[in-house]
Amino acid sequence: MGENIDIFAAAWQELEESVIYYYNRPVGTLAAADNEVAALNYDQCFIRDFVSAALVFLIKGKTEIVRNFLLQTLKMQMKERQLDFLEPGRGLMPASFKVVHDQEQGEQYLLGDFGNHAIGRVTPVDSCFWWVFLLRAYVQATGEYSLAHQPEFQKGIRLIIELCLVARFDLYPTLLVPDGACMIDRRMGINGHPLEIQSLFYTTLRAAQELLIDNKENSYIIQAVAKRLPPLVEHIRHHYWLDLQRVNVIYRYKSEEYGEEALNQFNIYSDSIPYDQLSRWLPENGGYLAGNLGPSHLDCRFFSLGNLMAVMSSLTSVEQGEKIMNVIETRWDDLIGQMPMKICFPALRERDWQVLTGCDPKNRPWSYHNGGNWPVLLWMLAAAALKTGREEIAKNAIEIAAHRLPGDQWPEYYDGRNGRLVGREARKYQTWTISGFLLAQEIINNPEYLSLVCL
């Protein structure tokens, strides 16, 4: 017991030391504090990275840093329409920001990165979703609805929802995005309608319903959200769902069907589905949401963040949520292994890796986003497990993490099919690894904190 207390105390100290200050006020945390390698952009605060740290700060009663973060990132949101096609769209939040010190003027300012400096120059679609998620958590933790009800916050939420609900070249209620627009921020063949974005999109719409004031200014947005949610839920729960019964249906699909009564609406060809592997890997009592869906395409990989967030937000039904946890428990060695948990399974290999990743050396098979293990996912696993009454899954996963993370100096990710290797290019003292571990333990110790992260 004493050893565990020491681990959590040391982790908390590392988290506090990662805090970034702007005019002596805390506004976020460093992505990583690894002094052995060049900082690149790891000395910035990423919106998605900060969420788990922010939740820990809220639980510990340190609300100032979260409030400042929400205020300052809102100021960086693009508020006006841009004529230059190289500028981010109206409503977009930055992927990250850093504090810049002007030595000559003796001033400071915050510089946001909207993807214009990122590898691949990919726009961060998920940043605005995580911002709304965190705003809701802040209101839940503090009861300070007045912050979310301020005109600038209401406008910020409206702009985000407008950005998602604009006229589009699409028939479906899901959100169309480019490859690399989320946590998997390098080319991995998930362009189109990746599950992670759909789960975050749904969570954002639900959170917006709670946060938007019912007035004339918001009425059209509130109506649009209410209209979008039911078809989005129905679409994901039906078309993205994979269990043995569903696989059998898809296996017997007829292609080239035409008209409204077509069963195979996406014209999926039988030869494109790895039926042999799926039929052997899927447990009888299990199921999960596919990674992506589009014309002639069903991505059967298991993507952890999208599935866990779907459970947390109730995008899945109660039965589907239980089946997802059954898969995690039954396929423990594949999805949890030696470090919770694998970002996607299985990895792209050989020709698939070459074509879909562009021969990305960082995304070698069973590394980084291509089947690597990411400790930050531990807090989502804990939340989903507790919500579905599977507390033992979370406890066992936390025990594995506690045994390795401190000794390995809190790395960003792990490599190998079972996650036994510290990531080849993983940063040490990665902040969201530390905060994800702390947050998972807090959720297990105090189930009432589920209200901050679950709908």
Rounded CA-CA distance 287/237 in Å is 11
> 219-239 and 195-211 are packed helices; what angle lies between their axes, rounded to 10 degrees?
150
Residue-range domain boundaries for the chain: 2-453
Q: Which residues of 396-406 are buried (b: 16+ CB within 10 A; e: fewer)?
A: ebbebbbebbb
The neighbour count for residue 119, using CB atoms within 10 Å, is 14
Q: Coil, helix or strand for 25?
A: strand
Q: What is the pLDDT of residue 404?
A: 96
Could you tell me where the DSSP H helices lie in 293-363?
Answer: 304-313, 318-330, 332-335, 350-357
Question: Position 303: which residue type?
Answer: F
User: Could you give the C-alpha distances from 56 to 36, 244, 255, 318, in angstroms and in order?
Assistant: 27, 39, 50, 27
Contact assessment for residue 356 and residue 318, using Cβ atoms and an 8 Å cutoff? no
Q: Coil, helix or strand for 238?
A: helix
In the block, tokens 């998602």 appear at: 164
Question: Position 424: which residue type?
Answer: R
Q: What is the pLDDT of residue 91?
A: 86
In the block, tokens 């959200």 appear at: 225
The rounded Cα 381 to chain-centroid distance in angstroms is 12
Would you state the torsion angle of the CA atoms of residues 107, 113, 117, 123, taken in this order, to the nearest 10 degrees?
-170
Helix (H) or strand (E) holding 67: helix 64-76
Would you state the torsion angle of the CA atoms of residues 360, 362, 367, 368, taken in this order, to the nearest 10 degrees?
-110
Positive or negative: CA dihedral 260, 315, 366, 33: positive
User: Could you give the C-alpha distances from 279 to 293, 296, 340, 349, in angstroms and in order?
Assistant: 19, 20, 24, 20
Rounded CA-CA distance 135/349 in Å is 39
Contacts of 55 (CB under 8 A, 6+ apart): 134, 137, 379, 435, 439, 449, 452, 453
CATH of domain 2-453: 1.50.10.10
Q: Where are the beta strands (DSSP E) in 2-77?
A: 19-22, 25-29, 45-46
Rounded CA-CA distance 54/39 in Å is 22
Q: What is the pLDDT of residue 412?
A: 97
Cα within 13 Å of Cα(210), Cβ side: 19
pLDDT in single tens digits along all 455 residues of the chain? 456 668 889 999 999 999 999 999 999 999 999 888 888 889 999 999 999 999 999 999 999 999 999 999 999 998 776 655 566 678 899 999 999 988 888 899 999 998 877 776 777 899 999 999 999 999 999 999 999 999 999 999 999 999 999 877 888 999 999 888 999 999 999 999 999 999 999 999 999 999 999 999 999 999 999 999 999 999 999 999 999 999 999 888 888 888 888 888 888 998 889 998 999 999 999 999 999 999 999 999 999 999 999 999 999 999 999 999 999 999 999 999 999 999 999 999 999 999 999 999 999 999 999 999 999 999 999 999 999 999 999 999 999 999 999 999 999 999 999 999 999 999 999 999 999 999 999 999 999 999 999 99
Q: What is the pLDDT of residue 95?
A: 93
In the block, tokens 């918001």 appear at: 218
Burial class (CB in 10 A: 0-12, 13-18, 19+), 80: exposed
Cis peptide before 346 (omega within 30 of 0): yes
Question: What is the phi/psi pair of residue 73, to 5°?
Answer: -70, -30
Q: Which candidate, 401, 400, 399, 381, places its Cα nearest to that of 443? A: 381
Contact assessment for residue 135 and residue 150, using Cβ atoms and an 8 Å cutoff? no
Q: What is the pLDDT of residue 84?
A: 59
Rounded CA-CA distance 269/272 in Å is 6
Q: Coil, helix or strand for 26?
A: strand
In the block, tokens 């809701």 appear at: 136
Rounded CA-CA distance 429/420 in Å is 18
